[in-house]
Structure 1
């Protein structure tokens, strides 16, 4: 019964947001509450589930709030202006080069393993170019989202450590054979970017720049009163230090962004009135994204607290025909994206994956293969409304979540298929 209600809840949720009957925010809150009541849970029980879900996402919400404020201050101060000007001079106004460059930049920045940082840096560097040349911003969102999903399989990303710890396998044994698999995903994304860029070049043409664009010329077209060209080296050093500490993993992301924001706003805008103006300028984005994250906490809290997620997993596993037992690693690879689209990574890796692994073991499938297969669906996962950084991405680019999902899903599926095929070809996962 709970499994049926869980699947029905997912369908209703997606229909509500895809048909625009509800906003994502209200659907994330009201849909699980309604289905929990239908399942027979009392409102006091549901309240406890909501509180636990919100508490779980609170550190992430705070971190993203201050990350938005920090990078917002850096954008205001003009830190990225020279980078944008340099890139524009290299690509010479060619949409094809810009779109392919976006894919490469996304996956390079994503080496830090954090979606928030990747989206902030990629969009701040590339969105001005997209806007200037008239390239559709949905392309930027799609490439960044799927590219981040591919790179989320690196050892310090979101998926691999969870898979290793959930199944008790050595992370090095898990990841080593996955390097060519990730390479296949990266290649598929660059190919997609090439064809999308080629389409945009055909639509827009190549803009011929009469002379090189300099950072100070770009700044002149913007609000000169908030630019801080004399503090450029300070802002660059602060940002590089922040990124290094983020990658090191020795300090909490939340603490890093809170401290970095405080230092950045005091140094760049020492006047209290200016500080209030800069915070107010970014408050709309902060509020929209933070509220979405807390709403996702409500959804996942109820999904987990009612045990719907557990029953859904058991029902799916039991539906696998015995004759397909030898294909379980491939099935796990192809379905992991579906699972993690509808539930958080923690729920999948710590709740569903052990069940899948036990089922596979009955057919003689090695646990390490199931662990590898489980992380392949991350490109689809990164389009989920339950991923906090996804709301950050669509907010920065200025597209709706359903537009982002409709555009990016086919490319995410392509990446997952490419990675699955490669994993079978090199023996990272097997079929028999």
Structure 2
């Protein structure tokens, strides 16, 4: 009996389940669980003398991703501090006026623009602060704002510096560009789908509110203050409105450089950060202040990825991952195996709704990827498939941003979920369909 329990496949499954239970029940933080759990099970597997080497190998594999993300977080934080998005917010608000159609479309567009920094909390604060007064004045349903905000942010999180993409790439040890690049067309169509949904919402609200004509803020003569927080003295001091066009060109150039593959992602992000910090905050003291202001976010991201590297390093190095994959191959019918990529995409919707991203990407995805490899499916394809369910994940009760958003909007979380989930599933299916058509997710191995 003891020999059976110490089999690599059994130990691997127990290790994954223990990790998931600990973080889902909040007994341990994700970072601590990613380190403690694999070490304990690695010792049980008899890999004690080699654990150090396994951990270093796993950490080395995620190091480029951690490097890129650390500078990406700092870059977009500086763009936020400098006020790159302030004119965009004001322009959107000036255009939408009191037309429910324009307001709905403006909500989606602003959420997409602000989500480029990959932070759901920041996006929620900016978009809700800007649009909630408009929704209240016009009488629109605030659940529309919550839905468009969540869907836009979740799709924009496919970008390389988004948390889900980084986790998926790190979990299966593939290059981040190989995960994100092929998925960009599907992401684009998904964003168009969100705009189409915003149009439907706007048309419905026009009818419900008996809106007869378009009135812009310019016509009303009462422009809306987009960001009350921008009036704060501390925030005003770090804004750089004169550098708006420079920052915009730099950001667009950075994104184009990543799309075209002009250089490795970490190199592009490091260079862009250096230029942005030097131009916007030439004084060393100001640069130190900006780094200190965002140090928590950087540390959390980097430490999480390094801990994930240790987890997968032991899981793979101790032979548990391969043993679980072989056990899964023995159970999965041969007819279903070649379809594991689209199956992974479909099950990502319910799994990411009831699980945290850490539990899903570091606990479930590596096992699926190893099993899929036995049928000739590349790990990068499974990583891409695992991202499909993110619009549904944005409605998960495990996420802090949904409580923040619902609290600011004054709506119940359950009401928001009931209203938005069906649309989230629809967007997921749209993205999956395009991903299969473009080959980002193979229909059959």
Shift of 1:376: 3.6
Q: 2:151 aligns with which of 119, 127, 143?
A: 143
Aligned pair in 2 of structure 1 residues 371, 243: CA closer, same or farther (>3 Å)?
A: closer
Q: Pick from 288, 312, 318: which aligns with 2:324? A: 312
1:301 deviation in Å?
1.3
Query: Residues of 1 paired with 2:75 and 2:388: CA distance?
Result: 27
Whether the 8 Å contact between 2:152 and 2:191 is mirrored in structure 1 is no
Quote the residue 1:269 is aligned against. Answer: 281
Unaligned runs of 5+ in 1: 110-115, 167-174, 358-366, 385-392
Residue 345 of structure 1: how far off its partner (Å): 11
Residue 129 of structure 2: which of 128, 131, 142 is its match?
Answer: 131
Aligned to 2:408: none
Residue 379 (1) aligns with residue 388 (2): yes
Correspondent of 1:334 among 336, 343, 348: 343
Distance 1:305 1:199 in 2: 56
Aligned residues: 376
Are the counterparts in 2 of residues 36 and 306 from structure 1 also a CA contact under 8 Å?
A: yes
Contact 2:54–2:314 (CA<8 Å) still a contact in 1?
Answer: yes
Structure 1 position 104, deviation (Å): 6.1
| Alignment partner of 1:59 out of 64, 78, 83 | 64
CA gap of 1:69–1:330, structure 2 versus 1, over 3 A, is same
Q: CA deviation at 1:56?
A: 1.3
Aligned residue number for residue 36 of structure 1: 42
1:300 to 1:336, Cα distance in 2 relative to 1, 3 A: farther
Distance 1:424 1:67, change over 3 A: closer
For normalisation by structure 2, the TM-score amounts to: 0.64
Match of 1:172 in 2: none
- Equivalent residue in structure 2 for 1:88, among 89, 93, 97: 93
Distance in 1 (alpha carbons) for counterparts of 2:116 and 2:333: 41
1:78–1:228 contact (8 Å) kept in structure 2: yes
Q: Compared with structure 1, are the counterparts of its residues 256 and 3 closer, same or farther at alpha carbon in structure 2 (3 Å cutoff)? A: same
Specify which of 25, 32, 41 is matched with residue 26 of structure 1.
32
Quote the offset at 1:130 in angstroms.
2.0
CA distance in 2, matches of 1:52, 1:262: 29
Q: Determine the structure 2 residue equivalent to 1:48.
A: 53
Q: Distance in 1 between matches of 2:427 and 2:10?
A: 30
Structure 2: 5+ residue stretches without partners: 1-6, 133-141, 175-181, 349-356, 394-398, 406-412
Cα distance, 1:86–1:195 mapped onto 2, change above 3 Å:
same
Match of 1:356, SS? coil
* Alpha-carbon RMSD: 5.3
Partner of 1:363: none
What's the offset of the Cα at 1:317?
Answer: 2.0
